Amino acid sequence: MSSYEPNLRAFPPHIRYNYGMEKTVRIFTNFADAEAADIEEDMRMSPEQRISIVLDLQKRIYPDAAEQGFERVCRITQFQRG
C-alpha cells in the first residue's frame, strides 16, 4: 500500500492548514458537559504532546519559520508625566 502526499503549496492556505488533521466529532447534551470533556482531555495530555501540537500547527502555518529565525525588536518610548 502506498501513501499519497500531495504538494500542499498547490492548495489554498485554508486547505493546507487543515490537511492531515485528525478530525473527531463528539456530541454533548449541554455546553457544561462539552467544556468538562475538553478540560479533561487537555489535562490528560503530557507537556510533550502539547508542545508537539503547537509545533505541528506552527509548521502548517509557517512552513519555513525554522529557516527565518526570530527578528529582534527593541522599542524605547518616552512617557509623558501629567
* 0.75 surpassed by pTM: no
pLDDT at position 64, please? 76
> Are the C-beta atoms of residues 65 and 54 closer than 8 Å to each other?
no
pLDDT tens-digit profile of 17-51? Answer: 566 667 788 999 999 999 999 999 999 999 999 99
Alpha helix (H) residue ranges in the chain: 13-18, 31-44, 47-61, 65-68
Q: What CA–CA distance (Å, rounded) separates 3 from 11?
A: 18
Per-residue pLDDT of 46-70, as tens digits, reads: 999 999 888 888 887 777 777 776 6
- How many CA atoms lie less than 13 Å away from 64 in the CB half-sphere? 3
Asked whether 9 and 17 are in contact (CB, 8 A), the reply is no
**Burial call 24-53: b when 16+ CB within 10 Å, e when fewer:** eeeeeeeeeeeeeeeeeeeeeeeeeeeeee
